[in-house]
Amino acid sequence: MNVQWYPGHMAKAKRTLEENLKLVNIVIELCDARLPYSSRNPAIDSIIGKKPRVLVFNKADLADQTQSDYWMDYYKKQGFTVVFTDAKQGDGVKKVIAAVKKAMEEKVSRSLERGRIATALYAMVVGIPNVGKSSFVNKVAGKAAARTGDKPGVTGDKQ
Ligand SMILES: Nc1nc2c(ncn2[C@@H]2O[C@H](COP(=O)(O)OP(=O)(O)OP(=O)(O)O)[C@@H](O)[C@H]2O)c(=O)[nH]1
Ligand SMILES: [Mg+2]
Protein backbone atom coordinates (compact mmCIF):
# COMPACT_ATOMS: atom_id res chain seq x y z
CA MET A 1 0.00 0.00 0.00
CA ASN A 2 1.26 3.44 -0.88
CA VAL A 3 0.82 5.65 2.15
CA GLN A 4 0.65 9.32 1.25
CA TRP A 5 2.17 10.77 4.42
CA TYR A 6 2.96 14.19 2.98
CA PRO A 7 -0.41 15.69 2.17
CA GLY A 8 -0.92 18.00 -0.79
CA HIS A 9 -1.83 20.98 1.34
CA MET A 10 1.57 20.82 3.01
CA ALA A 11 3.38 20.82 -0.33
CA LYS A 12 1.23 23.76 -1.38
CA ALA A 13 1.99 25.66 1.83
CA LYS A 14 5.71 25.06 1.34
CA ARG A 15 5.50 26.45 -2.21
CA THR A 16 3.50 29.48 -1.08
CA LEU A 17 6.04 30.09 1.65
CA GLU A 18 8.98 29.90 -0.77
CA GLU A 19 7.32 32.25 -3.25
CA ASN A 20 6.33 34.83 -0.64
CA LEU A 21 9.71 34.76 1.07
CA LYS A 22 11.03 36.92 -1.77
CA LEU A 23 8.53 39.64 -0.90
CA VAL A 24 9.48 40.07 2.74
CA ASN A 25 12.44 41.42 4.69
CA ILE A 26 12.11 39.18 7.70
CA VAL A 27 10.35 36.06 8.96
CA ILE A 28 8.59 35.77 12.30
CA GLU A 29 8.53 32.05 13.06
CA LEU A 30 5.84 31.32 15.62
CA CYS A 31 6.06 28.20 17.79
CA ASP A 32 4.30 26.90 20.89
CA ALA A 33 6.28 27.58 24.07
CA ARG A 34 4.96 24.31 25.54
CA LEU A 35 6.48 22.37 22.60
CA PRO A 36 9.67 24.32 22.01
CA TYR A 37 11.19 21.61 19.82
CA SER A 38 8.35 19.69 18.20
CA SER A 39 6.21 22.69 17.26
CA ARG A 40 8.90 23.79 14.81
CA ASN A 41 8.59 22.48 11.26
CA PRO A 42 11.80 20.52 10.58
CA ALA A 43 11.88 21.83 6.99
CA ILE A 44 11.68 25.48 8.06
CA ASP A 45 15.42 26.16 8.35
CA SER A 46 16.16 25.05 4.81
CA ILE A 47 13.13 26.91 3.43
CA ILE A 48 13.92 30.20 5.19
CA GLY A 49 17.66 29.95 4.52
CA LYS A 50 19.55 33.16 5.24
CA LYS A 51 16.52 35.44 5.47
CA PRO A 52 16.55 37.33 8.82
CA ARG A 53 14.28 35.69 11.34
CA VAL A 54 12.86 36.13 14.83
CA LEU A 55 11.93 32.94 16.64
CA VAL A 56 8.83 33.52 18.73
CA PHE A 57 7.57 31.07 21.36
CA ASN A 58 3.93 31.92 21.89
CA LYS A 59 1.51 30.76 24.62
CA ALA A 60 4.33 31.35 27.10
CA ASP A 61 1.64 31.92 29.74
CA LEU A 62 0.81 28.20 29.50
CA ALA A 63 4.41 26.99 29.57
CA ASP A 64 6.69 26.11 32.47
CA GLN A 65 8.97 29.11 33.12
CA THR A 66 12.00 26.97 34.02
CA GLN A 67 11.66 25.05 30.77
CA SER A 68 11.18 28.28 28.83
CA ASP A 69 14.41 29.68 30.28
CA TYR A 70 16.21 26.52 29.22
CA TRP A 71 14.91 26.66 25.64
CA MET A 72 15.50 30.39 25.34
CA ASP A 73 19.15 29.68 26.12
CA TYR A 74 19.21 26.64 23.80
CA TYR A 75 18.08 28.61 20.76
CA LYS A 76 20.10 31.74 21.58
CA LYS A 77 23.23 29.59 21.64
CA GLN A 78 22.33 28.48 18.11
CA GLY A 79 22.33 32.14 17.05
CA PHE A 80 18.59 32.73 16.97
CA THR A 81 16.89 35.91 18.13
CA VAL A 82 14.30 34.56 20.58
CA VAL A 83 11.22 36.13 22.16
CA PHE A 84 8.53 34.54 24.34
CA THR A 85 5.01 35.91 23.98
CA ASP A 86 1.43 35.66 25.09
CA ALA A 87 -0.43 36.78 21.98
CA LYS A 88 -3.77 36.54 23.75
CA GLN A 89 -2.82 39.23 26.29
CA GLY A 90 -0.21 40.89 24.12
CA ASP A 91 2.74 40.22 26.42
CA GLY A 92 6.07 40.26 24.58
CA VAL A 93 4.60 41.47 21.30
CA LYS A 94 6.45 44.80 21.59
CA LYS A 95 9.65 42.84 22.16
CA VAL A 96 9.11 41.09 18.84
CA ILE A 97 8.67 44.43 17.08
CA ALA A 98 11.84 45.69 18.74
CA ALA A 99 13.72 42.55 17.66
CA VAL A 100 12.51 43.00 14.08
CA LYS A 101 13.65 46.63 14.09
CA LYS A 102 17.03 45.64 15.49
CA ALA A 103 17.51 42.93 12.88
CA MET A 104 16.62 45.46 10.16
CA GLU A 105 18.74 48.30 11.59
CA GLU A 106 21.28 48.28 8.77
CA LYS A 107 18.67 48.22 6.04
CA VAL A 108 16.78 51.11 7.63
CA SER A 109 19.88 53.26 8.14
CA ARG A 110 21.03 52.60 4.57
CA SER A 111 17.73 53.82 3.22
CA LEU A 112 17.81 56.86 5.51
CA GLU A 113 21.26 57.68 4.14
CA ARG A 114 19.79 57.60 0.68
CA GLY A 115 17.41 60.33 1.79
CA ARG A 116 14.28 58.29 2.44
CA ILE A 117 12.06 59.58 5.21
CA ALA A 118 10.53 56.23 6.12
CA THR A 119 11.16 52.59 5.36
CA ALA A 120 8.41 49.99 5.24
CA LEU A 121 9.43 46.60 6.56
CA TYR A 122 7.64 43.49 5.40
CA ALA A 123 7.45 40.53 7.72
CA MET A 124 5.99 37.07 7.23
CA VAL A 125 4.40 35.26 10.17
CA VAL A 126 4.64 31.47 9.82
CA GLY A 127 3.95 28.52 12.06
CA ILE A 128 2.13 25.22 12.41
CA PRO A 129 -1.66 25.29 12.98
CA ASN A 130 -3.05 26.80 16.18
CA VAL A 131 0.18 28.34 17.54
CA GLY A 132 -1.45 31.76 17.67
CA LYS A 133 -0.42 33.39 14.38
CA SER A 134 -3.72 35.23 13.91
CA SER A 135 -3.80 36.34 17.55
CA PHE A 136 -0.26 37.64 17.16
CA VAL A 137 -1.08 39.54 13.96
CA ASN A 138 -4.12 41.07 15.66
CA LYS A 139 -2.00 42.34 18.56
CA VAL A 140 0.55 43.83 16.19
CA ALA A 141 -2.18 45.44 14.10
CA GLY A 142 -4.01 46.62 17.21
CA LYS A 143 -7.29 45.31 15.83
CA ALA A 144 -9.07 42.09 14.92
CA ALA A 145 -7.59 41.73 11.45
CA ALA A 146 -7.53 37.92 11.45
CA ARG A 147 -10.06 35.46 12.81
CA THR A 148 -8.81 33.28 15.68
CA GLY A 149 -10.15 30.06 17.18
CA ASP A 150 -9.54 27.30 19.71
CA LYS A 151 -9.02 24.62 17.04
CA PRO A 152 -6.34 24.21 14.36
CA GLY A 153 -6.99 25.27 10.76
CA VAL A 154 -8.97 28.44 11.45
CA THR A 155 -6.90 30.36 8.94
CA GLY A 156 -7.14 28.17 5.87
CA ASP A 157 -4.83 29.98 3.51
CA LYS A 158 -2.20 32.66 3.16
CA GLN A 159 -3.39 35.85 4.74
N1 LIG B 1 -3.26 31.10 26.52
C2 LIG B 1 -2.95 31.56 25.31
N3 LIG B 1 -3.78 31.31 24.27
C4 LIG B 1 -3.44 31.78 23.07
C5 LIG B 1 -2.24 32.53 22.85
N6 LIG B 1 -2.18 32.85 21.55
C7 LIG B 1 -3.29 32.35 20.98
N8 LIG B 1 -4.05 31.70 21.88
C9 LIG B 1 -5.31 30.97 21.63
O10 LIG B 1 -4.96 29.85 20.82
C11 LIG B 1 -5.98 29.59 19.85
C12 LIG B 1 -5.39 29.64 18.46
O13 LIG B 1 -5.03 30.96 18.14
P14 LIG B 1 -5.04 31.49 16.64
O15 LIG B 1 -4.51 32.90 16.67
O16 LIG B 1 -6.33 31.25 15.98
O17 LIG B 1 -3.91 30.52 16.00
P18 LIG B 1 -3.47 30.36 14.48
O19 LIG B 1 -2.02 30.02 14.50
O20 LIG B 1 -3.84 31.56 13.68
O21 LIG B 1 -4.31 29.08 14.06
P22 LIG B 1 -4.70 28.57 12.59
O23 LIG B 1 -5.16 29.74 11.78
O24 LIG B 1 -5.79 27.59 12.86
O25 LIG B 1 -3.46 27.92 12.06
C26 LIG B 1 -7.05 30.63 20.09
O27 LIG B 1 -8.04 30.06 20.93
C28 LIG B 1 -6.32 31.76 20.82
O29 LIG B 1 -7.14 32.53 21.65
C30 LIG B 1 -1.38 32.77 23.99
O31 LIG B 1 -0.30 33.35 23.90
N32 LIG B 1 -1.80 32.24 25.17
MG1 LIG C 1 -5.02 31.74 12.01
CB of 8 closer than 6 angstroms to any ligand 1 atom? no
CB of 133 closer than 6 angstroms to any ligand 1 atom? yes
What is the mean predicted confidence (pLDDT) over 4-25? 86
Whether the per-residue pLDDT at 151 is higher than 90: the answer is no
Q: pLDDT digit string (tens) for 91-149?
A: 999 999 999 999 999 988 888 898 888 888 999 999 999 999 999 999 999 988 888 99
**How many A from CA of 35 to the centre of ligand 1?**
14
CB 121 within 8 A of CB 104: yes
CA dist 61 and 39 (Å) reads 16
Tell me which residue has its CA closest to atom 13 in ligand 1. Answer: 132
CB of 135 closer than 6 angstroms to any ligand 1 atom? yes
Q: Given this model, what pLDDT does residue 44 score?
A: 92
If one compares 14 and 94, the residue with the highest pLDDT of the two is 94
- Report which bound ligand comes closest to the CA of 30: 1
If one compares 105 and 159, the residue with the highest pLDDT of the two is 105
CA dist 145 and 142 (Å) reads 8
SS3 annotation, 94-159: HHHHHHHHHHCHHHHHHHHHCCCCCCCCCEEEECCCCCCHHHHHHHHHCCCCCCCCCCCCCCCCCC
CB of 49 closer than 6 angstroms to any ligand 1 atom? no
Q: Given this model, what pLDDT does residue 117 score?
A: 81
Q: pLDDT digit string (tens) for 39-88?
A: 998 889 999 999 999 999 999 999 999 999 999 999 999 999 999 999 99
**How many A from CA of 133 to the centre of ligand 1?**
7
User: Which domains does the chain show, CATH number per domain?
Assistant: 8-136 (3.40.50.300)
Q: Given this model, what pLDDT does residue 99 score?
A: 97
